[in-house]
């Protein structure tokens, strides 16, 4: 699996050109991208999507850009927990979903890097949907999610509630049978008070680089755009 992640990350690093302003994702596959990017020695700047990514960039000498001054980014690169043939995504396994969505919404091009097993027919088949919730609203949000059919579990780390870089908590929400219409669910979740963000990334990814165990990488674009 590490060879596949490395291959996807290295393929994405080849897309970067001198002078680009980048969105820098979070996670194990992105770590390989950052290593490959640093090795190229390009003059680039990047907006990190987590404190962990920011720390790694400092170690590698990748210059950081403040999101407050980033009006548009040339390219964002990030992983995914699931993606479907239309390149709709479930993200947030690493807990950085809110910052990832903010940063990747600024990018003219958003490339997903993942292993082949992340490609699914229907989102929610293999991975729960992370929902970032302000602590005050955990109870009401949890009940609203359960009312529409989700099975929820509060994410924990080391026996305590998981806290995001934004000071929020995460409910991992699983819908039996998966998410039939990600676009509709995206809107429905946005209307629930107390949800700071969720892991559905609808119509954001422009392409994906998927790697298999042999290190072969194939490029996908949204199926809807091919018809």
The tokens describing 215, both together, are 């290190």
8 A C-beta contact, residue 219 and residue 119: no
Q: Considering Cα of 70, then 73, then 78, then 84, what sign does the dihedral take?
A: positive
* Ramachandran angles phi, psi of 105, nearest 5°: -70, -15
Q: How far apart are CA 181 and CA 65, in angstroms?
A: 35
Active site residue 100: yes
Residue 132's beta-bridge partner residues?
Answer: 170, 197
| Active-site option among 10, 82, 86, 100 | 100
Torsion, CA 34, CA 16, CA 1, CA 221, rounded to 10 = 140
Q: How far apart are CA 126 and CA 175, in angstroms?
A: 10
Alpha carbons within 13 angstroms on the beta-carbon side of residue 90 total: 27
Q: How far apart are CA 188 and CA 6, in angstroms?
A: 36
The tokens describing 49, both together, are 């999507």
**Other CB atoms within 10 A of residue 80 CB:** 29
Residues taking part in catalysis: 100
């Amino acid at each position: 699996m590490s060879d596949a992640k490395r291959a996807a990350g290295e393929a994405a690093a080849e897309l970067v050109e001198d002078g680009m302003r980048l969105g820098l994702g979070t996670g194990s596959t992105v770590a390989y991208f950052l290593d490959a990017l640093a090795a190229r020695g390009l003059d680039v700047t990047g907006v990190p999507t987590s404190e962990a990514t920011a720390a790694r960039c400092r170690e590698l000498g990748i210059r950081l850009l403040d999101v407050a001054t980033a009006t548009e980014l040339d390219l964002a690169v990030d992983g995914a927990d699931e993606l479907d043939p239309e390149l709709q995504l479930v993200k947030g396994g690493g807990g950085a979903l809110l910052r990832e969505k903010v940063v990747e919404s600024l990018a003219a091009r958003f490339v997903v890097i993942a292993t082949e097993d992340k490609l699914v027919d229907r989102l929610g088949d293999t991975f729960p949907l992370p929902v970032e919730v302000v602590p005050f609203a955990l109870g009401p949000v949890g009940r609203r999610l359960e009312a529409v059919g989700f099975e929820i579990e509060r994410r924990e780390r080391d026996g305590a509630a998981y806290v995001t870089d934004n000071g929020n908590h995460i409910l991992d929400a699983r819908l039996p049978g998966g998410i039939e219409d990600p676009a509709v669910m995206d809107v429905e979740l946005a209307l629930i008070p107390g949800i700071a963000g969720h892991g559905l990334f609808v119509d954001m990814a422009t392409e994906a680089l998927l790697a298999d165990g042999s290190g072969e990488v194939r490029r996908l674009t949204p199926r809807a755009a091919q018809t």
